[in-house]
Structure 1
Amino acid sequence: MPGTANVKMFWILLSLLTTASAEWDVVISEFDFLDFLYSDGRNVSVVQGSHRGGVNSLAYDPIYENLYFSDTSDVHVTHIKIMEVTREAVVSPAYSVVSINSSNLYFRDLAHDPVNSSLFWTTTDIPYTAGQIWQATLDKPITFSPLLRLEGQIPQGIVVDSCRGYIYWANMNQTSPSIERLRLGGLGTGPESFISNQIFSPSDLALSQNQRMLYWIDEKTSSKNSIIARAALDGGEVEEFLEFKDGHVPKSLAVTNEGLYFTEESNAVYVVYFSDPVKTLHKLNHTVYNPQGIAVRNQLAFLNQNKDSCPPLAELRERVPPRRNITVCLFGKISPPVNGIECTCWAGYTGRHCEIDMCHNFCLNGERCFLTDGHPTCDCAPDRTGSRLVPVLLVEVKRLELWM
């Protein structure tokens, strides 16, 4: 019978949450899994995110320390899930915050804006007629709706500039490829073409707040080689950052203060350090399988150098304390909070963390305990009575004492 051992396990788990010391730097989505790594590629932990190979796009919230990811394992419904993540890569069970009817849509990419507490993602129609930008507002209750319908565009990667209030997306329509952007908050006249020259087939995007540069994956039409290009956030300084002449095909990007990380189709992850004038490709010492999205943890390091460079994020970071632990539901699942309680317990368990077995020691003489309408019930022997199997003789003695 579960009981004392489970309670001990609960406290062991709580101890693990507060004593782990490794701090992850990079997370990769791989088929079913989320792979948390150090910056050099050594593994911190591996977490299952899906059961049928649907984990794709990633978006990390460095303020509240939440990881969002898309799960496309169901061909009819795409789920955007949330997972609490400590700096030590201890995670909560994931649960869906948005479920999208994707029978007629291709889900493309995902981005998060902590300042406005919103998610943004790109889709294209099936069969192709147009693309869409969607927005979900994460304040309770969570709502989502199309933000833009983009006739003639094939939106791919998307990023949010929370400091300046823009979203950027890559338009892969090869007859008129571009990087587009939209001012958030109803300001401006609508979407505008941000980069439309020296661009060929843009896919994934990454934003460097430290450099105030936008990076994207592209393909050079003259050589058919993959490249990574970049531009300043005012639309100037468009340049080729890297050209891959040896068969590298990057899939997804992420940027830190130190360098540019990318996954590629050869089941590898690379980093290029900005301090290296030669731009040497450093392969992380870790094998990945079918890598999809990539995200980095330390996205706010630029604020340590100059917090005035981004007042919205600096103010939010000062207001929100770092997470020290996460919710654990030992025999249950994480749910949106109700009256401060975040666990929905499995039948037969209760407590703030679902750590209490309702049947443990419920039947006084060791008889079998089972659940009836969610409540513990005992299987009575002939010489026992009551819901907890008090001996019949003891009941009669008590009755006699009361009568006397």
Structure 2
Amino acid sequence: MVSRDTFLLTLALVSAFLVVSMDAQSWDVAVAIRNRIDFFSKNGTQTFNLTVDKDAELRGLAFDYVTQTVYMSDSKNSDIFMYSHKLDEKSSVSPSVLKPEEGSKSTAVGIVFDPSERTLYWTDQSLNALMKMKIPSEENPKPTPIRLHNFTDHKPHGIALDICNKHIYWANSYSSKHSIERSNLDGSDRKVIVDTELFRAYGLAVDHEGGKLYWTDDSEGYKYKIERSDLNGNEREKLWEGTSQQPVYIAVDKDTVYWTDWGSNAVWKIGKNPTTEEEPVKFVKYKILRPRNPFIESIITRENTENIDCEAILRRQNKPVKNIVLPASPDEFHNHVTNDTAETTQIDKNCRNNSYYDESTSSCRCNEGFIGVNCETLSPCNNYCIHGNCTLDNKGLPQCRCTSSYVGKRCERYICDGYCLNDGFCSVSNAMPSCKCEHSRGPRCEYTTELDELCSQYCMRPENTLTGINITLCRCGEWNGTFSEFSFSAEQPMSSTIIVWTLVAVIGTLTIVVGVLSYHVHKLRRRPRIRKRFVGGKRGNTQLTSRPQGPTDSYEISIENCCNMNICETPCFEPKLRTTPTKSKSTKKDEKNSLLDSMEGADSC
């Protein structure tokens, strides 16, 4: 007979096993924290955690959805630097995946897993290389790591895998030569895809469904950026730019971007297409256990690692479908291993994603957004059409049939958006927009002559009140050019007045100058003149007191303004303004000029 204690212990173990099995299927985000991994749902609720080793320092994380195995790298353990653990197992002890070579040390800071090739890839900062290795199997229990790339001027950190296009990406966080590079999975066709406006790129993530590459950049100073581009490094855009964070690892799912922050020891998230008002929010916050030594590391999402339909993704990208065989579920993977057959379309009653098995049709009835035999694959139509119905064309690409009020490739734009101008009211009738205008006219309310005149008057002089019009319709900021013209016109009278008074002042000044000059000219004209006449004859005698009356052969000499000459009709006096001759050696010509200058006075003879 089984004792009560034994029964309770057995029941507890069974319950624990069921809880672990259930939790293993109910997580969305996993975060590496010191020596454990925390698993969360999308709403931030922690579902369970996995403890590795008390001395471990976990860095990179990768997940194999086929076998439900999580891989983790350890930067502290010198004997074992990579572990694996199946989430449906109760044991917390993780078996070794890889040991470093004898006498060498490896530090895998970022790891990814390729389910089609059953291969791990990682960036190794100790070896300064990008490495890869097959997962141990019965045929090859001790696979040998292979150096895919050796770096000389790199400090590799983040790593991401494009499963469908078979590309591997890595981030070089060396501050003097920052870049994001890419190559094929065999190491060929290596190229730099981003090398500008980067300071220290740490984390990388590939969004398979969206066809985008995301990365974190710890900018110089206290700023940081979350950026993305297409898988070729083109169409680059800044998703978010903030301050006071040090983002390290990044992950994406269907509609959210997550990253770990060493600065605040927290996980942040933001929408993949945020609005202008949207800001990052804390997904989970940890206490600071060791100051100045961050402990929160890698982050992965489950949604971006499982059920990747590469055929549909490549068709949407208009690319040729490569020879990619991805098991759609763990059951199909085990079916491959045990039966060694390529038949993966066998219908069973294990319908996934909340679908149900229809006995009448012997098939799974999938919920909206899922397709496949067992409803295991996310449909390309899932959330594709925003306002309309989605169907797949003959190439498997989604196409939308929009409702009457929406247009666009994804029925994303309301037909009235931007149609009516000048604040006209738009309505839809028979799938056609029409406008009702208030202060304008025209089919789209595009003619606003009367409104322009009224608003121009208001914008020039806001103290004026307008009747019959809502002044909120007058966007004065848009009237800069027109307003300046009207302002010039309004100031014209003041400018004319200034010009008139300036001209009056100039004319008055000129009048005064002319008057002064006229006075002095008139005064000079009235100056008295003294004329001296001398009459002489050929015989050499000259009358001194009167005009000669003698013979006709006489002559007459007239001298004006003369004084101190030998003959003069009246006595001559020294003028007051006469300058005294200097005793210097001056010429007679200078002396004569001095005498003439002294004759200008009234007292001269």
Tell whether the structures are fold-level matches, with TM greater than 0.5.
yes
1:213 paired with 2:212, answer yes
Name 2:470's counterpart in structure 1.
none
SS at match of 2:133: strand
| Equivalent runs, 1:234-313 vs 2, <5 Å | 234-245=232-243, 247-265=244-262, 266-278=264-276, 279-287=278-286, 290-299=295-304, 303=308, 307-309=311-313
SS at match of 1:94: coil
Over 3 Å counting, the alpha-carbon distance change for 1:313 and 1:19 in structure 2 is: farther
C-alpha deviation, 1:137, in angstroms: 0.7
Name 2:407's counterpart in structure 1.
none
Distance 2:323 2:64 in 1: 11
**Which ranges in structure 2 are unaligned for 5 or more consecutive residues?**
289-294, 315-320, 335-605
1:70 paired with 2:73, answer yes
SS at match of 1:318: coil
**Which ranges in structure 1 are unaligned for 5 or more consecutive residues?**
325-404
1:210-254, Cα deviation, whole Å (9 max, x unpaired): 221111111334x55111121111221123221112x12212111
C-alpha deviation, 1:107, in angstroms: 3.1
1:130-187, Cα deviation, whole Å (9 max, x unpaired): 720111111521412222211211111111111101110001222221111111246x
TM-score, normalising length: structure 1: 0.68
| Equivalent runs, 1:75-224 vs 2, <5 Å | 76-86=78-88, 93-101=93-101, 103-125=104-126, 131-140=128-137, 141=140, 142-143=142-143, 144-185=145-186, 188-189=188-189, 191-221=190-220, 224=222
Over 3 Å counting, the alpha-carbon distance change for 1:286 and 1:44 in structure 2 is: farther
SS at match of 2:327: helix
Over 3 Å counting, the alpha-carbon distance change for 1:111 and 1:250 in structure 2 is: same
Contact 1:62–1:298 (CA under 8 A) maintained in structure 2:
no
1:41 paired with 2:38, answer no
SS at match of 2:201: coil
**Aligned residue identity for 2:44:** G
SS at match of 1:321: helix
**Aligned residue identity for 1:250:** P
Name 2:35's counterpart in structure 1.
32
SS at match of 1:121: strand
1:328-370, Cα deviation, whole Å (9 max, x unpaired): xxxxxxxxxxxxxxxxxxxxxxxxxxxxxxxxxxxxxxxxxxx
Distance 1:205 1:13 in 2: 36
Distance 2:256 2:232 in 1: 21
Over aligned residues, Cα RMSD in angstroms?
3.3
1:282-338, Cα deviation, whole Å (9 max, x unpaired): 21255366211111111257847x8511567984133642799xxxxxxxxxxxxxx
Name 1:359's counterpart in structure 2.
none
Distance 1:211 1:217 in 2: 18
**Aligned residue identity for 1:73:** K
Over 3 Å counting, the alpha-carbon distance change for 1:99 and 1:288 in structure 2 is: farther
**Aligned residue identity for 1:318:** A
Contact 2:250–2:299 (CA under 8 A) maintained in structure 1:
yes
**Aligned residue identity for 2:257:** L
Distance 1:313 1:276 in 2: 36
1:184-204, Cα deviation, whole Å (9 max, x unpaired): 246x44x22121222222111
C-alpha deviation, 1:55, in angstroms: 1.6
Over 3 Å counting, the alpha-carbon distance change for 1:165 and 1:292 in structure 2 is: same
1:52 paired with 2:55, answer yes
- Of residues 96-105 and 314-323 in structure 1, the stretch that sits farther from structure 2 once superposed is 314-323
Name 2:451's counterpart in structure 1.
none
> Identity of aligned pairs, percent?
21
Over 3 Å counting, the alpha-carbon distance change for 1:263 and 1:298 in structure 2 is: same
Distance 1:99 1:29 in 2: 20
Which of the two has greater helix per residue?
Answer: 2
SS at match of 1:122: strand
Which of the two has greater strand per residue?
Answer: 1
